[in-house]
């Protein structure tokens, strides 16, 4: 048993090391293969623009549920005036960064794993390598750089839509005062909250993009081949990303509180 655990630990540490080397190489060699601008624009479009609809829908419903639940719970204590505070702080400090990252990972992360997995299984990555281009830098680097911008921007968008959703359910569908709601939002959010929100988003962006890319890039090492390897890489990418987001969320919160 102890031998098995030791082996598992060594495998885990080794995989973590390979992932770190992969990520650093992707960033360091981002210029390899030229056309960085084009690759960056494509990354911003795929991770950013394409995820806007899903972010908007999820944020709106999250805010609406918070508005409803908040109104119900706060009214028990006669504190409905705190609804704006509850909705905005919940979204800004926790739900916004985490849910936005999970949504982007679900859409852009899985697409990235599958794309790289197929490129691996059809030898396209080998072809790039033989052109004396770093495949990590060429295929992944721009997406990592893009993630540092996209995740914070989409998280801010998520928070704004979510707060509006809270207003819709709390003040339009329920009998809460709009002025009181927006006043509480204005009072509650501080610079520190926004910085924490954006920091979390940037860290989640790096983690999910690097993890999903790594799984796709090395899909052939899973012991499976072809379509099955791509499917496995995609599942691993999203599962590991989700775990990493929640673990990092706890760590960052614990450090910054």
Partner 1 sequence: MTTSDATSAAPLLEIRHLRKAFGTRAVLGDVSFQVQPGAVLSVLGRSGTGKSVLLKCVVGLLEHDGGEVLFRGQSLENPAARKALRQASSYVFQQNALFDSATVFENVLMPLRARGEGERELWPQRVRDVLHRLELEDATDRYPAELSGGMQKRLAVARALVTEPELVFFDEPTAGLDPLRRNAVFSLIARLQRERRFTAVLVTHDVQEALVVSSHVLWLDSGTVQFDGMAALFATAQEPALREFRDNIEALRESLRSVANPTST
Question: Which spans of this chain sit near partner 1 (rule: CB under 8 A)?
Answer: 33-35, 118, 122-124, 126-133, 138
- Residue 130 has which token pair? 């033989």
Minimum CB distance to partner 1, residue 129 (Å): 7
Spatial separation of the C-alpha atoms in residues 154 and 48, rounded to whole Å:
7
Closer of 125 and 184 to partner 1 (Cβ)? 125
Minimum CB distance to partner 1, residue 33 (Å): 5
Closer of 122 and 178 to partner 1 (Cβ)? 122
Minimum CB distance to partner 1, residue 237 (Å): 19
Closer of 109 and 135 to partner 1 (Cβ)? 135
Minimum CB distance to partner 1, residue 54 (Å): 22
Minimum CB distance to partner 1, residue 215 (Å): 19
Closer of 62 and 134 to partner 1 (Cβ)? 134
**Left, alpha or beta for 223 (phi > 0: left; psi -120 to 50: alpha)?**
left
- Residues 201, 152: contact at Cβ < 8 Å? yes
Minimum CB distance to partner 1, residue 132 (Å): 4
Closer of 138 and 151 to partner 1 (Cβ)? 138
Closer of 94 and 224 to partner 1 (Cβ)? 224
Closer of 8 and 130 to partner 1 (Cβ)? 130
Minimum CB distance to partner 1, residue 22 (Å): 17
């Amino acid at each position: 048993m102890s031998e098995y655990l030791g082996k598992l630990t060594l495998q885990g540490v080794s995989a973590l090391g390979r992932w770190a080397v992969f990520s650093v190489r992707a960033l360091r060699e981002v210029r390899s293969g030229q056309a960085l601008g084009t690759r960056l624009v494509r990354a911003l479009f795929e991770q950013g623009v394409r995820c806007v609809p899903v972010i908007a829908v999820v944020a709106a419903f999250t805010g609406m549920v918070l508005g409803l639940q908040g109104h119900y719970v706060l009214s028990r204590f006669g504190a409905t005036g705190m609804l704006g505070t509850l909705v905005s702080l919940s979204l800004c400090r926790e739900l916004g960064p985490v849910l936005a990252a999970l949504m982007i990972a679900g859409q852009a992360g899985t697409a990235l794993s599958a794309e790289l997995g197929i490129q691996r299984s059809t030898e396209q990555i080998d072809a790039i390598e033989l052109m004396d281009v770093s495949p990590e830098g060429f295929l992944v680097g721009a997406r990592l750089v893009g993630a540092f911008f996209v995740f914070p921007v989409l998280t801010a968008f998520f928070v704004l839509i979510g707060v509006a959703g809270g207003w819709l359910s709390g003040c339009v569908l329920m009998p809460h005062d709009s002025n009181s709601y927006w006043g509480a939002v204005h009072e509650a959010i501080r610079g520190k909250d926004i910085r924490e929100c954006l920091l979390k988003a940037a860290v989640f962006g790096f983690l999910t993009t690097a993890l999903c890319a790594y799984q796709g890039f090395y899909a052939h090492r899973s012991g499976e081949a072809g379509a099955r390897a791509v499917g496995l890489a995609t599942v691993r990418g999203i599962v590991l990303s989700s775990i990493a987001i929640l673990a990092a969320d706890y760590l960052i919160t614990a450090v910054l509180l």
